[in-house]
Structure formats: C-alpha cells, structure tokens
Amino acid sequence: MLLKKDAKISISEIDDFLRTKAIPFGLLIQFTGLLWLESSSGYITQVYIWCLLPALASIVINAYTHSTASFLLRSHILIKLIIILFSWIILHPFFLKSDFSGHEKVLTRSLYIIIYIYAVAVSVISTKKPTRLFFISATVASTFALASILFQYLVNDYSISIRMLNIGGERIHSLGVGQYAYFDNPILAALYYGVSAAFLVGFISRAPLKKAAPCLILVIPLIFFIILSDSRGPIASIAITILTAFYISKISMRTKTITVIAIALALIAAYISSDNFKQLISLARTAPEILFIRINIWDQALQQILNSPWFGYGFSSAPDIVIDQYTYNHPHNMIFKICLNWGIPAGILFIIIFITSLLICFQHIKSNFIAITICVLIFGFLGMMTDTYRFLSRPGLQWLLFFLPQGLIIGYIYRKKLQQLLLE
C-alpha cells in the first residue's frame, strides 16, 4: 500500500510539473517561435515536442487519476460546441460519400488542436499569474516588430510609403528580418503582431497608470508595424479591438465620449493640414478598390458554397477561385473557407462558438483577465474575416487567432470554479 501511495504522489508531482512548468514553457515556444525559429517545419516540430507532448502526458495522467484538472471531460457549453464542430469535421467524409484522401491529416490536426486548447486552459488554471506568459511573448513580439521597422526604414532607408516587409510595392518580399515562418508576408505578420497588441491593449484598458505605461511602450511598435504593413484587414481589426478595449475600460462614459470626439477632431485637422499624414493613410483611399476585389472573391466563394451547401467539398477539394485570370486558393474569409470544406452546418457552428465565447466574456467582463481575452478573441475573429488560409492548420498563426482565446476562456471558467470549490 505504501508503494502504491508513493507512486500516486509521484504521478501527482509529475502532473503538477507538467501543468505549471512544462506546458507554459511549451506555449512560450508556440507563441514566440514563429519569430526566432528559422523554418516553418522546425517551428512545428518544436511545438509538438515542447507544447503538445507535455499536454498529452497531462491528459493521460488526469484521465488515470480522475483529477479535477481533467476538465475536457466535463460538459461546459463551449467545450460541447467545440467537440460537436470537430466531430462534424471528422465524420464529414461519411456524409460526403467520397474517398478518405487526406482524412488522416484531418484526424491528426483535429487531435493536435484539441490538445492545444487543453494546454492553454491548463496553463490558465494551474499557474499563479497566467498573464505573465503573455507579457513575455508580447515583449519578444514588440522587440521583433521594432527591429523590422528600423531595419526597413532606417538601415535600408526605404520610403515609408513602401509597406513593411516589401520592396518596390511587391506584395511579398523578404528584407532579411521576416524570413521566418512565412513572415515575408506583411498580412500574416501584421495578424501575428496584432495578437500581442490585442493582449496589451486589453491589459492597458484595466491597469493603473504605473502598470499600463510599460505595456503602452510595448504596444506602440506593434501597432506601427500593423499600420506600416498597409494591410487593411489587420488595421481594421486592431482599430475595432482598441475601441472595444476603450469601451470596457473603467473610464467614465463622459470621459470616453470627450476622448473619442477629441481624437476624431485631431485626425481631421491632421488630415487637412499635413501632406505626410495623407501619405500615411493613403491606404484608406485605395480601400474601396481592394474591398471590391474581396467582394468578387466572396461572391464566387458563395456561389461555390451554394452548389454544395450541406457538406461542402472536403478538406482539400474545394475549387479555386479565378478572377481576372488570377487564381485564389482560398476565399479570404474563414467562415466561407469552413463552409467550402465542410458545409454550411460547420460554418454555423463556427459562428455559434464565437458568439458563445463573446457572451461568456461579457458575462465575466469585470474580470481583468477576461478584458484581455475578449480583445484577443475579437481581433482574431475579425482578422479571419479577410485573411488566413486554413481552419485545420498545423501549429501557427491560425492557432493564435481562434484556438488560443477558446483555451483562455475555458481555463478561466474552470479556474474560477476551482477557486469557488476551495472557498466552500
């Protein structure tokens, strides 16, 4: 009996180490590795080793010991919805009556994503200060964003009219600081930096001035990078996220109204009086043309969805979109992409998960942690409405835009439940 008891203590200690040390470290690799790991394949391998493997071990241990941390087996509405969506995706080929080519990829990626959500939630539940991990990640991201800006506009002496990570107006071109994990693409880079910016903006909305000041310094390079990327989707997403943070802040409504009016008047005055400012916001003048291209893409994607509304075309079988002899291999909208792959029911489930997450956040909006989470959630969802490629992706940007906030919300809910149980 003594040996058995000692074994249980050993298992408990191992699980505690996994949840409080190993998994948070793995998440740090997952958050920041896109910046400093030289290849996409190398980044993915490191995420598997340092993040998903410890999380899988924790799941196995908690299933064996029936620990309270095995929350994925419980029946919160958000977990149910996520399980239903992935069940539809996994069982989809049976309804489509097609071959199962690529289905192994669907199964493995679905499993990886569920383990990742568990990892994020466990980190929130088990660490004393769950936001510390995000502060470190945001600091790393801000440093890289600042380095990229200085490299392009000071070292290489390019005009500020040229978008970040581009030369001569080319849409994708590496300058030597953005070669890691597809970061030669200004849109994806802006979305990545936007996640850290959203976290910092959410923190600033609730923090006292002394604590908010360092975050304000960190968020400035991130927002400047997004603006200089000349990527309209990320710019609109971070703007709405900032407005959301301003709305949920503890500032009085009168002060909020006066501030918004003052900023609007200042922008109008600057626009009228400054040619340089006009150059900086020239993207606004070309927005209708770009939006028109997006609308054409979405219109053709919608027609394809209506041709196969219930089950879509499968994981990798959706037809390309061709406009003016240019081929687009994705519809530049995650809802349309999901509907093309797995049908309108999957798209509806995706929307329901977002709305449920949003409602849960507003239900707990007094929490400073949820104030941060709602900013990340809103930025990620809006960012997916104009860009990103696959819902079932390997570790990367997509995980940060959608699955990260789901894990944060689930973790917060169960952390609060555990705290209530300890008080009883």
- Residues 134, 153: Cα–Cα separation, whole Å: 28
Instruction: Give the list of residues 6+ apart from residue 185 with CB closer than 8 angstroms, or none.
Output: 165, 172
Position 5 scores a pLDDT of 47
Q: Which is nearest to 39 in space by CA: 227, 135, 231, 183? A: 183
Position 169 scores a pLDDT of 46
Position 330 scores a pLDDT of 76
DSSP assignment letter at 97: T
Sign of CA dihedral 237, 377, 193, 267: positive
DSSP state string for 124-179: HHHSS-THHHHHHHHHHHHHHHHHHHHIIIIIS---TTSPTT-STT-SS---SSS-
Position 170 scores a pLDDT of 47
- Residues 45, 36: Cα–Cα separation, whole Å: 14
Contact 410, 385 (CB under 8 A): no
207 CB neighbour count, 10 Å cutoff: 20
For the chain, percent helix, then strand, then coil, each to nearest 5?
Answer: 75, 0, 25
The three-class DSSP label of residue 166 is: coil
Encoding tokens for residue 106?
A: 């669907």
Domain ranges of the chain: 2-423
C-alpha distances (whole Å) from 352 to each of 16, 81, 301, 309 are: 34, 8, 21, 18
Instruction: Encode the chain (424 residues) as per-residue pLDDT tens digits.
Output: 444 444 455 788 888 899 999 999 999 999 999 888 877 888 899 999 999 999 999 988 887 776 544 554 456 789 889 999 999 998 877 776 655 666 788 899 999 999 999 999 999 999 988 899 999 999 999 998 888 888 877 777 776 666 666 554 444 444 555 555 456 678 888 999 999 999 999 999 888 878 888 998 999 999 988 888 888 889 889 999 998 998 888 776 666 666 666 666 666 665 555 454 555 555 555 555 555 677 788 888 888 888 888 888 877 777 777 777 777 777 888 999 999 889 999 999 999 999 999 999 999 999 999 999 999 999 999 999 887 778 888 898 889 999 999 999 999 998 888 777 666 5
The pTM for the full model equals 0.87
Q: Which is nearest to 347 in space by CA: 309, 404, 297, 374? A: 309
Position 2 scores a pLDDT of 44
- Residues 52, 28: Cα–Cα separation, whole Å: 12
Contact 361, 377 (CB under 8 A): yes
